[in-house]
Structure 1
């Protein structure tokens, strides 16, 4: 907030103790109270009983320095420690006491906030607000599962050296997240109210819900657009997870604007990125495809590459691709956008348009999983 500057040359000067000063002071306090009351009742709607008290949200908006101490771990909270709502004296649940510390890479600062508000920030950043409510709810459950699992496992991969106390960053290394400031300045007027209400509804109607397999939170991978199928985790990453299996996702083709893309390179540029000779690219061929219809392995000269390697080295949208070569140029056509593992966001929206619920969407994309309340899970490491 900008500072008011007192100009000694003005005809009217402000002096402490004058009647006019106290009148304006009292008026300012009244305006602040009215604005704060409006924000609490319109921007942060009341949540169900035993949910995080609304006023705590405002307290959590303060920005913490990067060197701030780490919040209590979930394990500490789950051991029976309790905290109280300073306004009402009511005990908060263990789940409501969870805090997420997000390192905002661009601003180089930390934002600490309740887990449900973190989920809202991820939802706003990761999925278009125009999507169906049930698709947004499915995304909220997946985002909540990701951070809940990470907190309990105590994972700290992907954090920069100057953010060792953070839980996650706001980038694609973890989950993209919109800070509180960004979220509240993203829309204007009536559209802001409508969109915030929609985000709040998606988060509140799934409060505390996470995806489990074998009574444990899953690796809730998700991506933008499928090529018509999702990918086995083992075919893209070096891990075989029973709930990340290839399933059909036919909705993306008709809905997603990123279903098909064509990227053109000079042969010399493509060769340099791949570390091969330009003439060898002319004889590039697919050796094997995956269950998800993507390229598993290609041969270029004497070298072999996984489809993922080609995608990442050339910056392609997907690992399903074909190509044509004309003179000194190669044009590569990709289908789908993203790694292809887990839930397709555009596919989820397609399912929602056809009447599927969030739980049905989750069940389709995460094989053999359940949606349940985090509070019902056993404490990790307990017997």
Structure 2
């Protein structure tokens, strides 16, 4: 019988065929594997990259509605924080106080971006530049306001923001309502003593540094008829002290006061007459009523002049923040900014 002989090309064909069969499963799976990676949700991609630091400036933007210009300005998060610190706290304050202010500003906007409030904002805006949110000034506005002092002031503000970059204030793992104000009467207030909500981190604490603030004491005089009209009360005839304080808050602000038989809250009087504080005394002299106030602002959260006094005493921003906000932690924003970038 003749033997069938196979040449070299036939053996090469057989080897190639076997190789193809062995590689076939990988060739089939590979395109699907690549397709799964490209179509994974942003949240999963962020989760897979959580160990890598997030560069906030390139990942989270803030859209600010400029109330005067009536237009929206969008800028990186840290630039927004810089504009808030520059607008809300004097640049000649201690650097550690400015750092504490940077934390409050960043915490506020992160919380607002995560939980947008229905405040009739123009479409596309995250926040306004007004006091209803946080006062914000862009670089052009700061140059105009500061003039020849711009260079040293912006350098100092930038340092404070940079040295706290990516950090916010949290309580029980969530960003806090980082309320602040100018000057206390020597104590801050419990949140429920001024507003209806009680927060465990917004407790009354001592703030003795405020007595050195130029805004600690203020006097305002009003015509009698203006006071009667705005407060809807009739003042008794004669001169001297007006009203009887019935109760005070834990922070020693007026809780309830009675004026000629009418009971009112200290907050209502402050708001009605636009007083600097709800810790006040009232004196009538002739056709005028004189209000003497102690402190400047609502008194809840961090006192700015108190923060500066603490810094002058050698406290750092961590100590300042934890004095004014009870039981809080200073936390990296990575987990929170990941949620924001994943939703975009």
TM-score by shorter chain over 0.5: yes
Work out whether residues 77 and 94 of structure 1, in 8 Å CA contact, stay in contact via their aligned partners in 2: no
**Higher mean Cα deviation, 118-127 or 180-189?**
180-189
Cα deviation, residue 78, structure 1 = 5.4
TM-score scaled by structure 1?
A: 0.72
TM-score scaled by structure 2?
A: 0.80
Name the structure 2 match of 1:251. Answer: 209
Work out whether residues 235 and 259 of structure 2, in 8 Å CA contact, stay in contact via their aligned partners in 1: no
Name the structure 1 match of 2:262. Answer: 303
Name the structure 2 match of 1:123. Answer: 85
Q: Are 2:203 and 1:213 equivalent residues in the alignment?
A: no
Q: Are 2:113 and 1:113 equivalent residues in the alignment?
A: no
Q: Are 2:134 and 1:172 equivalent residues in the alignment?
A: no
Cα deviation, residue 280, structure 1 = 8.3
Match of 2:315 among 356, 361, 367: 356
Q: Are 2:96 and 1:134 equivalent residues in the alignment?
A: yes
Name the structure 1 match of 2:198. Answer: 240
Q: Equivalent residue of 1:185, what SS?
A: helix
User: In 1, distance between residues paired with 2:160 and 2:230?
Assistant: 42
User: In 2, distance between residues paired with 1:249 and 1:169?
Assistant: 30
Cα deviation, residue 303, structure 1 = 2.9
User: In 2, distance between residues paired with 1:77 and 1:175?
Assistant: 30
Match of 1:278 among 235, 250, 256: 235
Cα deviation, residue 353, structure 1 = 0.5
Cα deviation, residue 185, structure 1 = 3.1
> How many residue pairs get matched?
294
Give unmatched runs, 5+ long, in structure 2.
Answer: 1-40
Q: Are 2:292 and 1:333 equivalent residues in the alignment?
A: yes
Q: Equivalent residue of 1:251, what SS?
A: helix
Cα deviation, residue 337, structure 1 = 0.1
Q: With CA pairs under 8 Å and 6+ residues apart, which has the higher RCO, 1 or 2?
A: 2
Work out whether residues 255 and 267 of structure 2, in 8 Å CA contact, stay in contact via their aligned partners in 1: yes
**Higher mean Cα deviation, 294-303 or 210-219?**
294-303
User: In 2, distance between residues paired with 1:106 and 1:79?
Assistant: 41
Give unmatched runs, 5+ long, in structure 1.
Answer: 1-75, 83-89
Cα deviation, residue 116, structure 1 = 0.5
User: In 1, distance between residues paired with 2:247 and 2:53?
Assistant: 57
Name the structure 2 match of 1:195. Answer: 153
| Shift in alpha-carbon separation, 1:280–1:231, aligned structure 2, 3 A | farther
Deviations 1:345-366 (A, max 9, x none): 0000000001100010000000
Cα deviation, residue 305, structure 1 = 1.4
User: In 2, distance between residues paired with 1:221 and 1:94?
Assistant: 23
Deviations 1:44-89 (A, max 9, x none): xxxxxxxxxxxxxxxxxxxxxxxxxxxxxxxx9756469xxxxxxx
* Pair member with larger Rg: 2
Cα deviation, residue 92, structure 1 = 6.3
Deviations 1:212-247 (A, max 9, x none): 000000000000001000000010001000000000
Work out whether residues 77 and 97 of structure 1, in 8 Å CA contact, stay in contact via their aligned partners in 2: no
Q: Equivalent residue of 2:84, what SS?
A: helix
User: In 1, distance between residues paired with 2:250 and 2:103?
Assistant: 26
Equivalent positions of 1:264-275 (< 5 A) are 264-275=221-232
Name the structure 1 match of 2:33. Answer: none
Deviations 1:257-305 (A, max 9, x none): 1100011112111010001223389762211100001000112344321
Name the structure 1 match of 2:59. Answer: 97
Q: Equivalent residue of 2:69, what SS?
A: coil
Cα deviation, residue 379, structure 1 = 4.8
Cα deviation, residue 183, structure 1 = 2.2
Name the structure 2 match of 1:151. Answer: 113
More helix by share: 2
| Shift in alpha-carbon separation, 1:96–1:372, aligned structure 2, 3 A | farther
Work out whether residues 298 and 306 of structure 1, in 8 Å CA contact, stay in contact via their aligned partners in 2: yes
| Shift in alpha-carbon separation, 1:261–1:145, aligned structure 2, 3 A | same
Work out whether residues 294 and 320 of structure 1, in 8 Å CA contact, stay in contact via their aligned partners in 2: yes
| Shift in alpha-carbon separation, 1:280–1:166, aligned structure 2, 3 A | farther
